[in-house]
Amino acid sequence: YTWSTVNEKEGQFFAQDDARFALRGVDDGYLSSRPESRRSFYWEATADEAVIDFDFETRETLTLDEILSIREYYRGGAELIDVPVLQVVGDDDFIGCGTNIQETVTVDCSDPEAVAAHERSRFAEDACLETRVMPAAGHVLNLQTNAPDAYAVMLDWLDRRIGSDMGTPGSSPCE
């Protein structure tokens, strides 16, 4: 990726040029985001406009390295994980679905089995990976109006795989 590619695809620009950070004296290399780029993290039908606006108003900086560090995941970092993993993605998550950062693989999140198969290939077998695709959700699951549905999936997974308290193991732990 070059700066122009990230700027074009991600809607980022230098934080020094953003009035929100004008008095902070941020160093070169820090980026900010534009309102339209924040919207792309949401599924509009299950997003509250006030939440999207607040998300933008309270934005913070990031670096190009933060954006590109996801490459390590694609280069085999997930293969080192050997504990139970729950991966929850929205069916309209442009980061978790679509074209990956290497722009070589397309994952169609309307097909949960395709997502699960794609992700299983990245993790160690001992990871006991479980992948769930949340309908009508974007990347920011916690800020969607249907976030409680995702939380229910997460709590169910914890109960089954880990257990609900220290003295009671999960009902179907990974073996």
pLDDT in tens, 77-109: 788 888 889 999 999 887 777 655 555 556 888
Amino acid at position 104, single letter:
T
Nearest to 44 by CA among 111, 90, 10: 90
> CA-CA distance, 3 to 9, in Å (whole number)?
10
pTM of the model: 0.78
Q: Which of 24-33, 49-58, 104-113, 126-135 has the lowest mean pLDDT?
A: 104-113
> CA-CA distance, 44 to 53, in Å (whole number)?
13
- Cα 35 from chain centroid (whole Å): 18
Rounded to an integer, the average pLDDT of 147-166 is 91
Q: Give the residue, 173 or 138, on which the prediction is more confident.
A: 138
Q: What is residue 143's predicted lDDT score, i.e. its pLDDT? A: 94
> CA-CA distance, 55 to 49, in Å (whole number)?
10
Q: What is residue 174's predicted lDDT score, i.e. its pLDDT? A: 80
Beta bridge partners of 62: 31
* Helical segments of 21-170, H only: 35-39, 49-57, 64-68, 70-74, 112-120, 147-161
Q: What is residue 99's predicted lDDT score, i.e. its pLDDT? A: 53
Residue % of the chain over a pLDDT of 90: 32
- pLDDT, tens digit, 9 for 90 and up, residues 3-45: 444 444 455 688 888 899 988 888 888 888 888 888 888 998 9
DSSP code of 115?
A: H
What does each C-alpha distance from 43 to 40, 73, 97, 153 come to in angstroms? 8, 25, 13, 19
Beta carbons of 173 and 161 less than 8 angstroms apart? yes
Q: What is residue 154's predicted lDDT score, i.e. its pLDDT? A: 95
Query: Band of the pLDDT at 60, cuts 50, 70, 90?
Result: very high
Residue 81, number of CB atoms within 10 A of its CB: 15
Beta carbons of 18 and 43 less than 8 angstroms apart? no
Nearest to 108 by CA among 123, 91, 89, 88: 91
